[in-house]
Structure formats: C-alpha cells, structure tokens
C-alpha cells in the first residue's frame, strides 16, 4: 500500500501548518501558541474530545472509530518544542524569534500528526480509539514524563503507544527501526572540586583544582575503555570545565559537567558506580575533595518486540520492503518517548528526512516531502491495528 492519496491533496495545507509552527518556535513547556494552534485544529477537525494542559502545556485528542467493538486504544505521539539556537536557513518561513528555532523537526512531527488526525476524524475507518498526543518539552524537559505524571496513560486508557522522528541523511520514503534499545539513556553529571586557592606563582602553597579536574577528565574515559564490556556502548563526555577568574590565581574550586550515555541498564549502573568511586579517589590523591552529582535523566528508548514487528509491517506496506531498515544502529542520542515505552508497549521509528543538515544544527530544516509519508504511516498503523468490520 503506497502513501494515501488523500495526503497528496492535503500536503500543501499541512505544509502551511508546519511552516507557521516553524516561524514561531517555543521552548520546553512554553509551547502556549503551538498548543493553542493544535487544539484549534483538532476542534475544527471534529475530534471527539480535546484535553489541554496535560503535562502543563500538552494537548491530547480522542478520535473514536465507527465502532469500538475491539476495545483497543492506541496512542500516537508528536513533540512540539524547539531549541535555543539562532536559525541560519534563510528560508521565507524562518524563525521570527531570535535565539529560538525548530532545529529538530518537531514542527514537522506536530504537523504530520495533525494531518493524520484530520484524516482519521473524517474517515473513522477503524474499530477502536486513537489518542493523539502533542507533547511539550522533549528537548531536555522530560515533557513525556510530565504528561504521564498527569495521568496520560490511565486517563485515556492507552494500551499501546507509538512515536516517530525524522532522520537527516536517510532518503525520504525510507523507515528505520530496530527492536530493543534504539536510543540511549541520557544522564547528567556534575563534579564539584574543592582544593586550596593560592597565588599562581606559588603553586606549592595550594591544591590546584584545575590540575585535579584535568586528571579526572582523563580518568573517567577509562570507564568506557577498561570497565565496560567492549561490545556494550557507553559514552562519558565532560562538556564544561569552570574554574578560576584571572591568570595569576590558582582557583579554590572547579566544577565539571557532562553527560553519560548508555544502551544497557547494567552498563548504566556501572557507569554511575565507577564515577562515584573514581572521582573522589583521584581528588584525594592530590589533597583535594570532589563530589559527584549523578542525575538519571531520560531512560533508554527500548522498542517492544511485537510492536516493532507491527510497525515494520505497516512501514513496508507504505514504502516497500526494501525501503524499511529493520536493523538501524542504535544512536547515543536521548529521547523522552522512552518514558512512554516504560509505561506501555510500543515502538519508535525513524523516517528519512533526505539530504538535510543534521539535527540540532542551525541550518537544519524539516523536509516537507516527508509529510505524506509520515501521515500515511500514522493512518495505516491505526487502520491496520484496529481494522473496521
């Protein structure tokens, strides 16, 4: 089954929605304009129920099929928030807000789910209920967890949940997925070092926190090279090193921050344990003190086997078997759809965005040619999972 013909007719309208959202990016939970646009569209489509303010600014729509004999309830999720970047695309619909842009394609994700909702509300050619989920704060704010904590799964009776993300560099008309871990757990790390400040000309009178911090930066790389199974991925990246304020003083304190990425729960535990054991010991060897604050942030995004197989079959119906990659390499990027997959069985799939700039790049733009493909995936997923009698 190729893309649904109706989306060829709707593509221009959906593209207009996408570009309007793109021109007005909003960060984290401050997605008030986007949420209002989404709610207004759902109302115009004749969606059965609309709930706003779920997870602060999330929007949920309920679409019932012609029948509900199956009793099935499936959730489809799109994210709405942008990133704190200055856009350099030069497009006519480029961001109108300095320092904010849709550099990850959430504008496209929202528009495609809106397009699918419009079609599903018109046709209702399924037996069951669809819950369309428009989520804020994916970019570091854990908006998925906020919606879950607000009762998303139980309130709307969601039994399975599916997500989709665009993939730069992969051709439009291709899908990419794998069972199990597809995106990494994303944890936050802070190391606070206290030494003894002194004049830079008399280092023997102090305890140099910059020296200590430098040894810590190098030593934590041994977690990947010497502690973890070589066949299991772990990334420990120190990304900020703050210490000192002038060139002739050795600073009393230093602070390091970074991220830890893992694809296996045991390796996640290992990384945290080794950091907490290694860092204070290194500092102590130099006469300093160091504390580790380790915050578990987004979990591993782990696809469920049965739902992954089902997503593959739907994708193949749309773009053909040869255009569905069922063994994409996991990425060490994080995704808060992981929280939803911890609550309910489901699957997260990537859809090719063509030869675009990479995600989180100031030259990135969502490829509007993906719209009919993505919308068709959502609709065929629903109609296949809950076929009308």
Are residues 174 and 306 located together in one domain of the fold?
yes
pLDDT for the residue numbered 160: 98
pLDDT for the residue numbered 229: 96
Instruction: Find out whether 139 is annotated in a ligand binding site.
Output: yes
Mean model confidence pLDDT for the chain = 97
Are residues 238 and 159 located together in one domain of the fold?
no
Task: Give the confidence band of 2 by pLDDT, cuts at 50, 70, 90.
Answer: confident
Are residues 156 and 256 located together in one domain of the fold?
no
3-state SS of 275-298 is HHHHHHHHHHHCCCEEEEEEEEEE
Are residues 230 and 204 located together in one domain of the fold?
yes
How far apart CA 315 and CA 309 sit, in angstroms, is 10
Q: How many helices (H) and strands (E) does the chain have?
A: 11, 16
Percent of the chain whose pLDDT exceeds 70? 100
pLDDT for the residue numbered 387: 97
Rounded mean pLDDT, 125-131: 98
Instruction: Find out whether 104 is annotated in a ligand binding site.
Output: yes
How far apart CA 101 and CA 98 sit, in angstroms, is 8
Are residues 216 and 309 located together in one domain of the fold?
no
Q: Give pLDDT tens digits for 216-237.
A: 999 999 999 999 999 999 999 9
pLDDT for the residue numbered 267: 98
Long-range contacts of 282-287 (CB under 8 A, 24+ apart): 282/212, 282/215, 282/216, 282/219, 283/193, 283/212, 283/216, 286/195, 286/207, 286/208, 286/211, 286/212, 286/215, 287/195, 287/196, 287/207
Contact call for residues 240 and 191 (beta carbons, < 8 A): no
Q: Is the pLDDT of residue 1 over 60?
A: no
Are residues 169 and 316 located together in one domain of the fold?
yes
Are residues 150 and 193 located together in one domain of the fold?
no
Task: Identify the CATH number of the domain in which residue 163 sits.
Answer: 3.40.630.10
Task: Identify the CATH number of the domain in which residue 280 sits.
Answer: 3.30.70.360
Domain that includes residue 326, residue range: 5-183+300-385
Rounded mean pLDDT, 296-307: 98
Task: Report pTM.
Answer: 0.95
Backbone angles phi, psi at 187, to 5 degrees: -110, 155
Q: Give pLDDT tens digits for 330-387.
A: 999 999 999 999 999 999 999 999 999 999 999 999 999 999 999 999 999 999 999 9
- DSSP H helices, the chain, are 6-23, 32-45, 106-123, 143-149, 152-155, 209-219, 222, 265-285, 305-319, 337-343, 371-385
Q: Give pLDDT tens digits for 59-96.
A: 999 999 999 899 999 999 999 999 999 999 999 999 99
How far apart CA 259 and CA 372 sit, in angstroms, is 36
pLDDT for the residue numbered 70: 94
Are residues 233 and 254 located together in one domain of the fold?
yes
For residue 329 the two structure tokens come to: 């390499």
pLDDT for the residue numbered 370: 98
Are residues 116 and 34 located together in one domain of the fold?
yes
pLDDT for the residue numbered 3: 86
> In whole angstroms, what separates CA 380 from the centre of its chain?
23
Task: Give the confidence band of 292 by pLDDT, cuts at 50, 70, 90.
Answer: very high
Choose the final residue of a domain: 298, 327, 357: 298
Are residues 245 and 371 located together in one domain of the fold?
no
pLDDT for the residue numbered 178: 98
Are residues 305 and 365 located together in one domain of the fold?
yes
Q: Give pLDDT tens digits for 201-211.
A: 999 999 999 99
pLDDT for the residue numbered 389: 79
Number of domains in the chain: 2
Choose the final residue of a domain: 254, 278, 298: 298
Q: Give pLDDT tens digits for 28-70.
A: 999 999 999 999 999 999 999 999 999 999 999 999 999 989 9
Choose the final residue of a domain: 298, 318, 342: 298
Task: Give the confidence band of 106 by pLDDT, cuts at 50, 70, 90.
Answer: very high
pLDDT for the residue numbered 355: 97
Q: Give pLDDT tens digits for 255-289.
A: 999 999 999 999 999 999 999 999 999 999 999 99
Q: Give pLDDT tens digits for 138-177.
A: 999 999 999 999 999 999 999 999 999 999 999 999 999 9
Are residues 214 and 334 located together in one domain of the fold?
no
């Amino acid at each position: 089954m190729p893309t649904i013909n109706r989306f060829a007719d709707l593509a221009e309208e959906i593209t207009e929605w996408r570009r309007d959202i793109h021109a007005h990016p909003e960060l984290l939970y401050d997605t008030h304009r986007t949420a209002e646009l989404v709610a207004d569209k759902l109302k115009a489509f004749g969606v059965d129920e609309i709930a706003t303010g779920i997870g602060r600014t999330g929007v949920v729509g309920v679409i019932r099929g012609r029948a509900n004999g199956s009793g099935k309830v499936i959730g489809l999720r799109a994210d709405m928030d942008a990133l704190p970047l200055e856009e350099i695309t030069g497009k006519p619909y480029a961001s109108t807000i300095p320092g904010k842009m849709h550099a990850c394609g959430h504008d496209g994700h929202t528009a495609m789910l809106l397009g699918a909702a419009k079609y599903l509300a018109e046709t209702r050619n399924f037996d069951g209920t669809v819950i369309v989920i428009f989520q804020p704060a994916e970019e570091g704010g854990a908006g998925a967890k906020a919606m879950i904590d607000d009762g998303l799964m139980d309130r709307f009776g969601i039994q399975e949940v599916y997500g989709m993300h665009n993939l730069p560099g992969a051709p439009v008309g291709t899908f990419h997925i794998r069972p199990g871990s597809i995106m990494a757990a994303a944890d936050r790390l802070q190391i606070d070092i206290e030494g003894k400040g002194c004049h830079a000309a008399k280092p023997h009178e102090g305890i140099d926190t910059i020296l200590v911090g430098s040894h810590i930066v190098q030593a934590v790389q041994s977690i990947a090279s010497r502690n973890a199974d070589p066949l299991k991925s772990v990334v420990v990246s120190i990304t900020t090193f703050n210490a000192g304020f002038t060139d002739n003083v050795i600073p009393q304190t230093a602070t390091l921050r970074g991220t830890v990425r893992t694809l296996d729960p045991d390796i996640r535990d290992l990384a945290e344990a080794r950091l907490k054991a290694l860092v204070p010991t290194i500092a102590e060897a130099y006469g300093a003190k160091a504390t580790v604050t380790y915050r578990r942030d987004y979990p591993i995004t782990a696809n469920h086997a049965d739902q992954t197989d089902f997503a593959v079959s739907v994708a193949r119906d749309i773009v053909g078997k040869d255009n569905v990659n069922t063994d994409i390499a996991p990425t060490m990027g994080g995704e808060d759809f992981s929280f939803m997959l911890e609550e309910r069985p489901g699957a997260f799939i990537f859809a090719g965005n063509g030869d675009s700039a990479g995600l989180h790049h100031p030259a990135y733009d969502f490829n509007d040619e993906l719209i009919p493909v993505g919308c068709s995936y959502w609709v065929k997923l629903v109609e296949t999972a809950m076929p009308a009698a």
